[in-house]
Amino acid sequence: MAQHPLEKFRFCPLCGSSRFVENNVKSKRCQDCGFVYYFNPSASTVAVIVNKRDELLVVRRAKEPARGTLDLPGGFCDCHETSEEGVAREVKEETGLDVEQVEFLFTIPNIYPFGGLDIHTIDQFFLCRVTDTTGAVADDDAAEILWLPWAEVRPEEFGLKSISRGVERLLQRHAEHQASDR
């Protein structure tokens, strides 16, 4: 049986009581002050960037989880920023590239292990157009930047399950666009 997502949270964040108990599958309730805390997924972004040669920008992960595997640029949204702002910021931090335009594609739920906790996320995939793809430099969470032709993109080489699933969808979408262009 899966453990409650708030199992490690033992004290009420409002009054500090240790009588902070499971309320339902996604919340805990304080038996002293009545506060109910709902556990909801964190917003996370994923950038899909394609250059003029129709190659996908991928990065090699510099940190755990899945260090050394392939990934797409992206990360958690900060408080008080939109998902579009968050994906542009993450692209800038990891690649140095400036995002000009963002187009929403799809979402995939994920569980991201971080700091001993399983962080539930909703990974939002965006097609990002950048000003100039020639100046990409790996930084922050990215150890390396690669431009892969679609024929060389292998979902199993992406270490995070949601990214691998997203890459499968992107490959299918790319194949459908190629077929419709014929």
| Contact yes or no for 6/27 (Cβ under 8 A) | yes
Residue 55: other Cβ atoms inside 10 A: 17
| Tokens at 164, concatenated | 């691998």
Is residue 142 within 8 A of residue 60, CB to CB? The reply is: yes
The amino acid at 159: G
Alpha carbon separation from 60 to 18, 24, 57, 150 (Å, rounded): 42, 39, 10, 17
Say which residues have a Cβ less than 8 Å from residue 4's Cβ, sequence separation at least 6: 22, 25, 28
Contact of 36 with 27, CB cutoff 8 Å: yes
18: closest CA among 30, 33, 36? 30
What are the catalytic residues? 144
